[in-house]
């Protein structure tokens, strides 16, 4: 299995851009929770803290695809550095406003500016696609590796943000996120030899990547999928609190993420066969079914076991989705296409968190698990109804796999 992953890093510069890409996208999992922890301590108002964090999420959802579209048009370095400068300046402004007691509206304004940060996960995957576009097996492994790294970010990031904010000083978590973002992006964009070329001629007059009907299906499915993740997180915290062990919720959620990590590592070492659209539909369906046992659990141990099993379908589905984006949109819009799927996921997380919290307040934590169950059903239904729009992907995949298998196995 390790030899499979070693093969993707044989390309010069691949380890460097993947590592710095990991550092630069840690703030995605640190920003929101860091803001909540900071403002809860400095202002003593969870409502305000949650609203400011939600503003960041919505701004990122609105600005992210536009930033990625500029990246496709002008290149990663020319766009990512100014975008990060704006996001970092806004974050520093947020820290100062929070510390100095500035009016609440200034917090919202700064949080909106932080939404300009580029989708570093998309930029990293675009480099892998540039390296291994003609070698589907290696590209599959690379996407699987990055999916595992995403899970690592969402395990480590909140722990760092909350730990520093509560043990050092309230602004420490957000401040470290700013350091990771600026340093990681600077090091990432400094690696010019692995940066994908700009397809300026192809980009003119083509419109948004979202015009692809197949991509529309993926984005809508990911909105429902994000609602699963957002609601599971909120309801699990409430479930643990009802049983007198709120702190255990972080362990249970880490088990959920570890299930995805394990599946991602194994999936990356495999060479899946059959139409990619079929694998996508299967992954979303399994994810939906895996939500049903949550309705029956009565203690934290059973919940952790059920969530570990549920997590096994996450990374394979994410990897398959990114592979489909790479085939459904032209190379000149790859960053934008990937960012739209992540944006759909983020919108779903915000909606799922809200609906999950509302349900817990009115019916209790156990009933709250109906929210991810319903969201999973909606995701599966959306994928099924839109499967015809994904019909062009399997044929493209089959041709590319055959071409890749016929080519001599040399490293680029």
- 28 with 177, same domain: the answer is yes
- 58 with 81, same domain: the answer is yes
- 127 with 254, same domain: the answer is no
Percentages helix, strand, coil for the chain, rounded to the nearest 5?
A: 85, 0, 15
Residue 202 belongs to some domain of the structure = no
- End position of a domain, from candidates 195, 217, 238: 195
- 113 with 64, same domain: the answer is yes
What CATH number is given to the structural domain containing 284? Answer: 1.20.1250.20
- 287 with 309, same domain: the answer is yes
DSSP state of 13: T
Pull the structure tokens for residue 192: 């010019």
pLDDT tens-digit map of 292-342: 999 999 899 999 999 999 999 998 898 888 888 878 877 777 778 888 888
Residue 200 belongs to some domain of the structure = no
- 378 with 266, same domain: the answer is yes
- 296 with 353, same domain: the answer is yes
- 169 with 317, same domain: the answer is no
Pull the structure tokens for residue 81: 């550095």
pTM of the prediction? Answer: 0.76
Residue 3 belongs to some domain of the structure = no
pLDDT score, position 204? 55
Asked if 124 and 23 count as a contact pair (C-beta separation under 8 A), the reply is no
> What is each CA distance from 98 to 103, 116, 157, 197, 331, in whole angstroms?
9, 20, 21, 41, 42
Which residues, given as ranges, of the chain have pLDDT below 50? 393-412
- 323 with 406, same domain: the answer is yes
Residue 106 structural domain: 12-195
> Residues 243-259, buried b or exposed e (16+ Cβ, 10 A)?
eeeeebbbebbbbbbbb
pLDDT tens-digit map of 238-279: 888 788 876 677 788 888 888 888 888 888 777 777 788 888
Instruction: Give the count of domains, the chain.
Output: 2
- 181 with 240, same domain: the answer is no
Pull the structure tokens for residue 187: 């090091």
- 217 with 263, same domain: the answer is yes
Give 107's contacts (C-beta < 8 A, 6+ positions apart): 39, 48, 52, 94, 97, 98
Residue 5 belongs to some domain of the structure = no
Pull the structure tokens for residue 136: 């589907």
Residue 252 belongs to some domain of the structure = yes
Pull the structure tokens for residue 8: 């993707």
CB atoms within 10 A of CB 144: 28
The angle that helices 314-328 and 213-242 make with each other, rounded to 10 degrees, is 160
- 118 with 267, same domain: the answer is no
pLDDT score, position 287? 94
Cα–Cα distance for residue pair 138/132, rounded to 1 Å: 6
């Amino acid at each position: 299995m390790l030899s499979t992953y070693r093969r993707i890093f044989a390309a010069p510069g691949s380890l460097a851009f993947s590592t710095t890409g990991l550092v630069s996208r840690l703030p995605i999992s640190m920003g929101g929770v860091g803001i909540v922890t900071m403002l809860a301590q400095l202002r003593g108002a969870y409502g305000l803290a949650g609203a400011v964090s939600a503003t960041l999420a919505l701004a990122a959802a609105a600005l992210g695809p536009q930033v990625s579209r500029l990246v496709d048009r002008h290149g990663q370095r020319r766009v990512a550095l100014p975008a990060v400068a704006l996001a970092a300046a806004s974050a520093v402004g947020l820290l100062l406003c929070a510390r100095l007691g500035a009016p609440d509206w200034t917090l919202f304004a700064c949080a909106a500016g932080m939404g300009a940060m580029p989708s570093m996960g998309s930029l990293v995957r675009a480099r892998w696609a540039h390296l291994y576009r003609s070698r589907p097996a290696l590209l599959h492994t690379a996407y699987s590796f990055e999916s595992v790294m995403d899970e690592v970010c969402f395990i480590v990031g909140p722990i760092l943000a909350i730990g520093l904010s509560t043990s050092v000083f309230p602004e420490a978590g957000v401040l470290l996120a700013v350091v990771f973002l600026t340093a990681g992006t600077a090091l990432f964009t400094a690696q010019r030899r692995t940066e994908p070329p700009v397809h300026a001629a192809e980009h003119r007059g083509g419109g948004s990547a979202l015009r692809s009907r197949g991509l529309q299906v993926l984005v809508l499915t990911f909105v429902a999928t994000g609602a699963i993740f957002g609601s599971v997180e909120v309801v699990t915290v409430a479930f643990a609190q009802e049983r007198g062990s709120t702190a255990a919720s972080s362990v249970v959620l880490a088990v959920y993420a570890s299930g995805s990590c394990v599946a991602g590592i194994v999936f990356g070492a495999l060479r899946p066969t059959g139409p990619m659209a079929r694998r996508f539909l299967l992954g979303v369906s399994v994810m939906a079914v895996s939500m049903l046992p949550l309705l029956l659990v009565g203690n934290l141990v059973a919940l952790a076991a059920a969530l570990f099993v549920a997590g096994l379908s996450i990374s394979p589905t994410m990897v398959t989705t990114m592979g489909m984006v790479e085939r459904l949109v032209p190379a000149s819009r790859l960053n934008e296409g990937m960012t739209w799927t992540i944006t759909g996921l983020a919108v779903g997380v915000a909606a799922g968190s809200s609906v999950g919290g509302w349900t817990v307040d009115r019916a209790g934590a156990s009933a709250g698990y109906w929210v991810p169950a319903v969201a999973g059903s909606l995701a599966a239904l959306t994928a099924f109804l839109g499967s015809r729009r994904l019909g062009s992907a399997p044929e493209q995949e089959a041709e590319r796999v055959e071409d890749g298998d016929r080519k001599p196995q040399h490293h680029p």
